[in-house]
Structure 1
Amino acid sequence: MQIILSLSAALVAVAFFILVIYLVKTLKSLQAILTGVSKTLKEVEKHLEDVTTETTLLLKKTNVLADDFQHKAESLNSVVDAVKDVGSTVSKFNGTLNNLSTSFDRQVEENKEKVSQIIQWSDVLLELKDKWRARKQSKNENTPNERQRVRSN
């Protein structure tokens, strides 16, 4: 029975040795895998740092652009207000021109008769002026002829 026990113990020892060999191989494979995972995680961490840095820069630029946009929007508001003021001024000016035009039309209507008389008198004066020029011109034309007559006599 001792032989059976010795053989059993030897068999258990060989089985345990084989088990240990497979465990060592498995653990070495696991170590290689974990080393690869560790390298991958380091690379991912580096990429995340780069992404974080770029994201921070992008956020800063976005904030600067937002501030610039806000400033320009405020400037644009003042321009819009100025344009509104110009529009109001033009509207008031148009209203004043309309009032003046209406007043002028009313005064023309009221003084239509007087304007008509002034135009008639100016026509008469122009006719008199033309007649006066015509007489003056005819006198100037007659004057040399009379001189020639006086010389002939």
Structure 2
Amino acid sequence: MEILLYVSALIASLSLLLIVIFVIITLKSAKQTMGEVSETLKRVETKLTGITEQSEQLMEKTNRIADDAENKLQTLNSLSDSAKKLGNSTDHMNRSILAISDDVATPPEKYRDFMEKATVLTETAARVYYRFQKEKHKN
């Protein structure tokens, strides 16, 4: 019976030794896996840093484009306001010219006789001048 006790102690010792060996193998494997995971995380971190930098550059460009678009929109708005003011000025000039042309077309009675005489006089002077020019070219 003593032998059974020794055999069972030997089996228990071997079992513990096997457990220790398997734990050591598992720990080594876990250590290797953790190293690989660490390397993978470093690569991911490096790539994320690059992506973050590119994202920041893209945001800066987007902000510059938005600012430029805003400036151009303000310029366009001021140009539109100027065009509107120019339109108002043109309308005012058109009304003024129409008023002057109405005044010329229907002058007051006191100037009508004078204007008719001036018209006859200028027409006569123009005819004389053109005849003189015509005669001058013939000779």
- Same fold at TM > 0.5: yes
Q: Who is 2:80 aligned against?
A: 80
Question: Which residue of 2 is the match for residue 29 of structure 1?
Answer: 29
Aligned to 1:98: 98
Deviation at 1:103, TM superposition (A): 4.1
Q: Which has the larger radius of gyration?
A: 1
1:16 aligns with 2:16: yes
1:45 aligns with 2:45: yes
Instruction: Provide the alpha-carbon RMSD of the alignment.
Output: 2.8
Using the size of structure 1 for normalisation, the TM-score is 0.63
The count of corresponding residues between Structure 1 and Structure 2 is 116
Kindly provide the amino acid, as one letter, of the partner of residue 2 in structure 1: E
1:94-128 Cα shifts (integer Å, max 9, x gaps):
222333444445x18x8xxx8xx98xx99xx9xxx
Q: Which runs of 5+ in 2 are unaligned?
A: 125-139
Q: Which runs of 5+ in 1 are unaligned?
A: 126-153
SS in 1 for 2:32: helix
Q: Which residue of 1 aligns with 2:130?
A: none
Letter in 1 for 2:67: D
Q: 1:37, 1:104 → 2: CA distance? A: 98
Hey, what's the Cα distance between the residues in 2 that align with 1:59 and 1:38? 31
Instruction: Give the letter for the 1:75 counterpart.
Output: T
Query: CA–CA distance in 1 between the matches of 2:98 and 2:5?
Result: 130
CA distance in 2, matches of 1:6, 1:95: 128
